[in-house]
Chain A
Amino acid sequence: MSGPAGQDRQDAPAGRDHAAEFDRVMARAGLPVPAEWRAGTVASYAELMALTPLLRMADRPVGSEPSAVYRMRAGDDEGTKDV
């Protein structure tokens, strides 16, 4: 998981039609897209989607749990964390 800066900056898969994909996503979500804002929103969508391969690792153990998993503590009367 180490390497020089930028080594793992990945572009979106070649040939992916972000504009068509974006239109389907927004329609499914019920989000109106102002016409003048569409081009920038598609570009922003493509940039965000290009990040998602970096979240995945082939050798990640199944026991690698999300940081949001709660660790309950006995006697934690207010639901807050003791450190």
Chain B
Amino acid sequence: MSDPRALHELSVAEAGARLRSGALTSAELTRYTLERIAALNPTLRAFVTVTEERALKDADRADHELASGLDRGPLHGIPYALKDIFDTRGIRTTSHSWLMAEHVPDEDAEVESRLRAGGGVLVGKLATHEFALGGPSPELPFPPARNPWNTEHFTGASSSGAGAAVAAGLVRVAIGSDTSGSVRGPACHCGTVGLKPTYGLVSRRGAFPLSYALDHIGPLGWTVADTALATQVIAGHDPLDPGSVRRPVPDLVAGLGQGVRGLRIAYSPGWFRDDPATSPEVTAAIERVLAELGESGALVDEVELPPYGRFNACGRVIMAAEAYAIHEAELRRRPTAYGRYTYQRIAPAAGLSAADLVQALRLRQELADAVQRIVFDRYDVLVTATGLSPAPRLDAFPTDWPPPRELTAMQTIPFNVTGHPALALPTGLSGTGLPLGMQIAGRAFDEATVLRVGAAVEAITGHAARRPAAVPRPA
């Protein structure tokens, strides 16, 4: 019996199997993808640039190579997209800013080099918040991306186009960046999977920096397996990234079906359960999942971590100081070339002192040590919330930054501070039909266990079988 699913509903592995059997060509898959982008992007605004001509050439090349027996790996012939902060040689890379609206890089970012070497087919560049920070501002060169579950709602954080594109089935995988949660926030609000790998596992070279100490590069995918496969392709030592770590990348896919029997899971509800910004639906969904993981043979214990506010202060001060250092000259020279939110978020860091930054860097080490001692010396993974409530409406954002806290309440920054890998994935839908999520963090460089637990959660929730029911067609 033939598979009744549309092509965009196939996973990376399923599409790859068809490409290798000859049942599907990359050219067919890419044309289908480009048609879907053309139909839905006027509503979703996920893409700021579509690379149609190059994509069709790359797809033809992938078909020729696969037919001749050259197999470049799991993404060979598979369409993907990049947040528009990643340099792409000969393709406009704007960081969603008027300041870089005409910027055409001479070289590829390292992740793009790896994806190309792996035979992937780049179909375009994705919306972000300006310089991966700003916010959903109307005055930027491109409008903000919209949430496919309800296009009146926010996508989560700066890898906004990536979240929208994956959730709407425009691509199976997209690459984002995460400095305080910008892979995991969109994954949470758009109901996809998103992985912030361990600091040092994936090269940052060629991604426009926001904060050298906290920037991480990671994929969003519709499933845990798709996310694992994308990570496998982009991970690995880059001698030209001073933060890159020289160590082998383990197989991230082999353990996905192993279940959780015997694993030790720490749970930290103290960060969010009594926070007034937390929706009871978020907590209930996480605790339902944890109960089922327990029934599947995992040991689940509550742990008490250092207060969330310290992680938040530490991360935000480091991020603000480094972003200010990066943008200081342009803020002086042409402040109004920035979006209002971006200016209002970066310029105040002029008031931080040298001692503030040093204290933040001291606290960072102390917090990383505390998480290791309290959690990872005894447990395999740590479960906590991602977003504390479903995605807010876009029109709830005020003209000026900062917005009311409940609009941006994500508990993602602790793992940018500590560098541990952290996976965001859906736990279900709210009563209003918007995604709810949870977060699984792991030991440094143990993405395999994080993804293994994520696959078990995915099997429990069944979320991957759902899709945004009605993405409105363009008027």
B400 x A34 contact (CB < 8 A): no
B362 x A66 contact (CB < 8 A): yes
Knowing A54-B313, A81-B246, A83-B247, say if A4 contacts B270 (CB, 8 Å). yes
B247-306 contacts to A, CB under 8 A, are 247, 270-275, 304-306
| Chain B interface, DSSP helix/strand/loop, else mixed | helix
A39 (CB) vs chain B CBs: closest residue:
B400
B347 x A26 contact (CB < 8 A): yes
The 8 A CB mask of A49-66 against B (1 = contact, 0 = none) is 101101111001000111
A55-83 contacts to B, CB under 8 A, are 55-57, 60, 64-68, 78-83
Instruction: Jot down 19 A-B pairs with beta carbons below 8 A, ordered by A.
Output: A2-B305, A3-B307, A5-B272, A5-B309, A6-B274, A6-B307, A30-B332, A31-B335, A34-B343, A39-B400, A44-B347, A44-B401, A52-B313, A52-B359, A54-B309, A54-B312, A67-B368, A80-B246, A83-B200
B200 x A64 contact (CB < 8 A): no
Chain B residues with CB under 8 A of A37:
340, 343-344, 400
A76 vs B310: C-alpha distance in the bound complex, in angstroms? 34
B317 x A51 contact (CB < 8 A): yes
Shortest A78–chain B CB gap in Å is 5
Chain A residues with CB under 8 A of B402:
40, 43-44, 47
Shortest A5–chain B CB gap in Å is 5
Knowing A32-B335, A55-B313, say if A41 contacts B350 (CB, 8 Å). no
A83 vs B237: C-alpha distance in the bound complex, in angstroms? 11
Count residues of chain B with CB under 8 A from any CB of chain A.
63
B242 x A34 contact (CB < 8 A): no
B193-247 contacts to A, CB under 8 A, are 200, 213, 237, 239, 241-247
Chain A residues with CB under 8 A of B336:
34
Of the candidates B270, B272, B352, the one whose C-beta lies within 8 Å of that of A52 is B352
Q: Which of A30, A32, A36 has the most CB of B within 10 A?
A: A32
Shortest A42–chain B CB gap in Å is 8
Knowing A48-B320, A54-B313, A55-B313, say if A64 contacts B350 (CB, 8 Å). no
A51 x B316 contact (CB < 8 A): yes
The 8 A CB mask of A3-17 against B (1 = contact, 0 = none) is 111111110000000
Knowing A45-B348, A56-B359, say if A51 contacts B312 (CB, 8 Å). yes
**Interface residue? B102 (CB, 8 A):** no
Chain A residues with CB under 8 A of B343:
34, 37, 41
The 8 A CB mask of B344-383 against A (1 = contact, 0 = none) is 1101111110001011111111101010000000000000
Shortest A55–chain B CB gap in Å is 4
Shortest A30–chain B CB gap in Å is 6
A5 vs B366: C-alpha distance in the bound complex, in angstroms? 18
Chain B residues with CB under 8 A of A25:
350-351
A33 x B275 contact (CB < 8 A): no
Chain A residues with CB under 8 A of B344:
37, 40-41, 43-44
B273 x A40 contact (CB < 8 A): no
Binding site for B on A (CB under 8 A): 1-10, 21-22, 25-26, 28-34, 36-37, 39-41, 43-45, 47-49, 51-52, 54-57, 60, 64-68, 78-83
Chain A residues with CB under 8 A of B450:
none
A48 (CB) vs chain B CBs: closest residue:
B348
**Interface residue? B47 (CB, 8 A):** no
Shortest A49–chain B CB gap in Å is 6
- Those 10 A-B pairs whose CB atoms lie nearest each other, nearest first: A40-B400, A66-B361, A54-B313, A45-B348, A55-B359, A51-B313, A29-B350, A25-B351, A67-B365, A67-B364
B335 x A83 contact (CB < 8 A): no
Knowing A64-B366, A80-B246, say if A40 contacts B340 (CB, 8 Å). yes
**Interface residue? B399 (CB, 8 A):** yes
A47 vs B239: C-alpha distance in the bound complex, in angstroms? 38
A55 x B347 contact (CB < 8 A): no
Chain B residues with CB under 8 A of A22:
348, 351
Chain A residues with CB under 8 A of B335:
31-34
**Interface residue? B445 (CB, 8 A):** yes
A43 vs B363: C-alpha distance in the bound complex, in angstroms? 25
A57 vs B362: C-alpha distance in the bound complex, in angstroms? 10
Of the candidates B310, B356, B364, B444, the one whose C-beta lies within 8 Å of that of A8 is B310
